[in-house]
Chain A
Amino acid sequence: MTILAPLQPQPLIMLRGVTRTFPSPAGAFTALADVSLAIERGEFVAVVGPSGSGKSTLLNLLAGIDRPSGGEIVIGETAVHGLSERAMTAWRGRTVGIVFQFFQLLPTLTAAENVMLPMDFCGTFPGRERRGRAMALLERLGVADQADKLPATLSGGQQQRVAVARALANAPAVLLADEPTGNLDSRTSDAMLEMIAGLVRDGQTVVMVTHERGAIRVASRTISLADGRIVATEAAA
C-alpha cells in the first residue's frame, strides 16, 4: 500500500515574483514582496522569521488557501494561482496536506474517522480501503491505539500526530505545517520534529513554518523571511 508520495527527481514547487498585499485603513499592507523560491521534491524546508514577516501568508499561498496579488505559483505541473475556487479545492485535497498549530481535528469524529475524512471528500481510495489506510497511517505515527477515541480525550502530542496522519491521508505531494509544534511541550515537540524528519527520509516534501530552533536542525533548508522578503537561505550542513 502506498502511504507516502513516491520520490521523483524534478523540482516540485516554484514561486516567481510572488506578492501579496492586503488592504488596510492605513493603505495597502504588503505581506509578501516579490518572493521567488524553488523547492525540490523530498526537501524539508523550514520557514522562519519574526511575527508579521509573511511566513503564514507564504504557507497559505502554497496551500491555495489564499491567492497572490501578483506573481506565479506552480506546484508540480499546476499553476495554482490560476485555478478557479472549485478546481483549487479539488487540487488542494489531493496535492496538499496541511497540519495546523491547533490541530483542528473535528471534535465529533474519532481519530481514525478524522484521518478517513479527506479520503471521503476526495474519493481517493475505495471506501472499504479507507479504514485500513487510516489505521496504517496512525500506526506509522504511533497512535494506532488511539484510533477510536475522540480528539478531546487525546493529549496534545497525540492530537498532532493524528493531524499529521490526516494530512497524509490522500498521499499529498506536499505536506505543509503551520507551527506544528507551537502548542506542544518541548519533549513532545522534539518527537514531532523527529517524526516529520522521518517522513522526509521516506521521500515526503515538507514545508514547515516554525519558531523552533530545533526545526532548523532537522530541516534540509531554512528560509528566513523579514518584512515579506526572503532575507536568507541556509542549507543544512
Chain B
Amino acid sequence: MAPRWRKVLRDVWLHKARTTLVVLAIAVGLLGAGAVLDTWALIQRATREGYLASNPASATLRTDSIDAALLRRVRAVPGVGDADARRTVIASARAGGPWQTAVLFALDDDPEVRIGHVQPEAGAWPPADGAFVVERSSLDFSGAAVGGSIGIMVSDGQAVDLPVTGVARDVGLAPGWMEHVVYGFVTRETLARLGAPASLDELRIVVREGGMDREAVRRIAWDVKAAVEATGRRVRDVDVPVPGEHIHAAQMNSLLMTQGGFGVLALLLSGFLVVNLIAAMLAGQVREIGVMKTLGARGRQVAGMYLGVALVLGVLASALALPAAAAIGYRYAALKAELLNFDITGYTIPLEVLLLQLAVGGLLPVAAAAIPVLRGCRIPVGEALRDAGMGTGHVAGGRLLHRVSGIARPLILSLRNAFRRRQRLVLTMLTLATGGAVYLGAVNLRASIRRSVDQLFAPYRFDLTLRLADAYPAERIETVLAQVPGVAAVEAWGTGRAAVAHADGTLGNSFPITAPPPDSRLLAHPVLAGRWLRPDDRNALVVNRGLMADEPDLRVGGSVTLVIGGRPTEWTVVGVVETVPAGAAYAPRESLAALTGSGRVEVAAVDAALNGDGAELDLIQRLRGELEREGLAVRSSQRMVESRRVLEDHLLMVAEFLGAMAWLMIVVGGLGLASTMSLAVLERTREIGVLRAIGARHRAILTIVQAEGLVLALLSWAIALPLSVPMSVTLGRAFGRVMVAVPVTYVPEASGVLRWLALVIVVSVAACAWPALRAMRVPAAQALAYE
C-alpha cells in the first residue's frame, strides 16, 4: 500500500475514539434511512406481488340474488375478464369473550376463489357447511382457535355455535384486529342456518384489459351495471377501487415516505459531523499538508487523502449500518405487513436497494467533507508551513463575558471555549436542535391527534348505536328504547348507501348516507360551509369534506343526482361538515325514508345516562332484550368509545412511528456533541495541561468540559423551540396526508419543552462523560508537551 494511504488509515486509527463517534453517527443516520428504505422496498414487493397475485376485484357491484346465469351474462360483457359473487353479512361473534362485530363472507358454490384469492393457512379450506373459517388477522383478536367454536348471531338474535375449522388470509381486507371486526368465511348453507339471507348479492369483476386505468374500469363496471339491470335486478352501488393498489397502500407509502424523509435528514445531519471531524483533522494537520506539498504532493493528491478518510468512515458506517438496517427493515416490514394483512415471509430486499445504501453511505461523508478538504488543501505551502497549529483564541463576545460579574472563572472559560470554533458550534447545535425540533414536533402531533379525535367525536353526542335487522317506523323504535332505564336520549336514524351519478353516465364510489331527524340533539357536526339540515328541508344534502374531495364537482347550493337503492334522485347540497376522512353525507330522515317506500328506519342512536364499559354493555343487553320483546330484532351494536379507540389506535400508531425518527436524530445529535467535545478536549490538551499545572483539580477540569457541553446543549434546546414550529407544520401536514387532518400547533407543548430540556441535559452529560474523563487522565507533563 502506498505510504499516503497508510497515513490515511493510521490517522483514522490514531483518532479512533472520535472517529468511532462519527462512524456511529453516520451509521445511525444510515440505519434510520436504510431501515425505512428496506421496509418500503419489502412492502412494495410484498404488496405488489402478493396483492396482485390475489387477483383483486377491479370493481364490486351490489345487487340482488346473483345466480349462475347472471354470472355468465356478466362474463360476456366486453372487457370483463372474470366475475364471481359472494354475500357479506354483518353479524356478532363471540369466542369466549364479549360479543364483537363480525363480517361473514359466503362465497359462491365454486370451491376455487377466482377473484380475491383467499389463502388457506391452517385447517380446512373451503369451509364446510356449518363450519367457520376465521380470517387470520382476526384470529388473536376474536379469541377463536381451530378446533374450538365461535358463537355467531345474525338478524334473529339467536346465537349459533359454529366449529372453527380453519384459518385463511384475505389480503384485500384491512386487518380485523385493527378494525375490531371478526372476519370469517362460511357457506351459503351456513348463512341460511344462521337465519341470514343466503342469496349472493356482491358481484365482483376483473377487467380484461386496461385494468390499471380506473376510468376504463369504471366504464366497464357501468356496462356490467346495465347488463345486471337488464335482468330486472337493481344495482345498489358500484365500487371501483384504485386499480392494483391495496386499500391502505397510499397511507403506507405516505407514512414510509415521511419517515424516509426524516431518515434522510438524520443522515444529512450525520454529514455535519463528518464536516466537523474532517475540518478538525485538517486544522491539526495544516503543517503536514504544507510538508507534503513541499515533497511534491499536488492539491488533488492531498484532497484525495482526506476525502479517502471520509470514504473510510462511510464504508465503516455502511458495514455497521447495512446489516442492522436490513434486520430492522425486515421486522418493521413484518409489522407494517401486519397492518396491511400481508405476509413478507420469503421476500428479500432488492439488491439495488442495498447497493443504493452502500453508495450513499460511502459517498455522503465524501460529499460532506469536500468543502473543508478543498478549502484546507488550497492553503499556500508557505502559509501552511508557518501554521502554529491552534487558533488565535479570539472569541466572539469574549469581552462581554468578562464584564458579567458573579460568574466563576472556570465557567467563563467554558463559555469562551464553547464559542471558539464557530462553524463547529453551529453544526453541532443544528444537529442536536433538529433532533429536538422533530421530538417537539412529534409531541405536538400526538397532542394534535388527541385534540383532533376529541373534535371528531364531539359531534357524536351519543354512546352507542343499535342496527336493527329490519326497518321500522322511527317513532316505534324511539318509544321502545326511551322507556329502558339508563337511556338519557334516543333517536332513530335512517341509513343507506349512495353514489353520485356523473354527467358521463358513470357512478362514483358509494358512500354512507345518514339521515337523522333535522332537529337532532345527538348529532352536531361543525359546519364548514353552508348550513346544517332544517326541519323544512326536502332532499337537502350535507356532505363532508372527504366526499367533497372524492367528488370535486359538488358545491354548496348546487344540485346532485344520487343513486340510492338503485334509484336516481335529485338533491341540493346545503352544507359541508367536518367528520371522518372517508366520504359521507347527511340527509333529512323523512327524505331518505321516503325513498325506501316504507318510511322506515333501522338505526337507533342512544345516549346513555351512565358511562363505563360495564354500564354500557349492560345497557346494550337490556336494549336488545326490550327490542326483541317488542319483535324488533337487533343485527349489531356499536359503542362510540370503541369506535374512538379503533380510530385512536390507528392514528397514534402512525404518530409513534414518526416519533421514532426523532429519537434517531437525537442519537445522531448526541453523538455529534460527544464528537465535538472530544475534538475540543484534544485541541486544548496543552491548555488543560497549563490549567492542571497551575492547580486545577480533576473536579475543575470535569466541570469545565461538562459546562461547555451543557452550554451547547442548552443553546440547542433553545434553537429547537422555534425550529419545532415548521417541524410541527410539516409533521401535521404529512399526517394529514396519511390519516386525518389535524389542527396545526404553532406553540410547542409545555410538557414537551420540559421533557426536551431534561433530555438534552441527559444527552449533554452522557456525551461529555468520555471527553471529560480523557481530559482528567492526560498527565500534565504530556499535556504541556502536546502540539
Contacts and interface: CB of A to CB of B under 8 A. Distances in A.
B299 A109 contact: no
A187 interface: no
B239 to A, nearest CB: 70
Interface centre among A86, A92, A106 (most CB of B within 10 A): A106
B10 interface: yes
Contacts of A169: 295
Contacts of B7: 106, 108-109, 113, 117
A120 B298 contact: no
Interface string B359-385: 000000000000000000000011001
A21 interface: no
Contact of A93 (B4, B10, B288, B295): B295
Given A65-B385, A117-B3, A86 B299 contact: yes
A127 B115 CA distance: 69
A92 B385 CA distance: 15
Contact of A89 (B2, B11, B14, B296): B296
Secondary structure class of chain A's binding surface, majority of residues: helix
A108 B10 contact: yes
Nearest to A166: B295
Contacts, number: 73
A176 to B, nearest CB: 9
A189 interface: no
Contacts of A98: 294-295
A85 B297 CA distance: 12
Contacts of B611: none
Interface in A87-144: 89-90, 92-94, 96, 98, 100, 104, 106, 108-109, 113-114, 116-118, 120-122, 127
Nearest to A88: B381
Nearest to A169: B295
Contacts of B11: 108
Looking at B288, B301, B382, which has the most chain A CB atoms within 10 Å of its CB? B382
A86 B6 CA distance: 25
Interface in B277-298: 287-288, 291-298
Interface residues of B, number: 23
A109 B10 CA distance: 8
Given A65-B385, A93-B296, A106 B291 contact: yes
A63 interface: yes
A41 B149 CA distance: 107
B433 to A, nearest CB: 35
A113 B3 contact: yes
A170 B385 CA distance: 21
Contacts of B301: 121
Contacts of B298: 86, 89-90, 121
Most buried by B among A113, A121, A122: A121
Contacts of B2: 116, 120, 127
A30 interface: no
11 contacts: A92-B294, A93-B296, A93-B297, A98-B294, A98-B295, A108-B11, A108-B14, A109-B3, A116-B2, A120-B3, A121-B298
Given A104-B385, A106-B292, A117-B3, 7 more contacts: A89-B298, A104-B291, A109-B10, A113-B6, A121-B295, A121-B301, A166-B295
4 nearest CB pairs, A to B: A93-B296, A108-B10, A113-B3, A122-B296
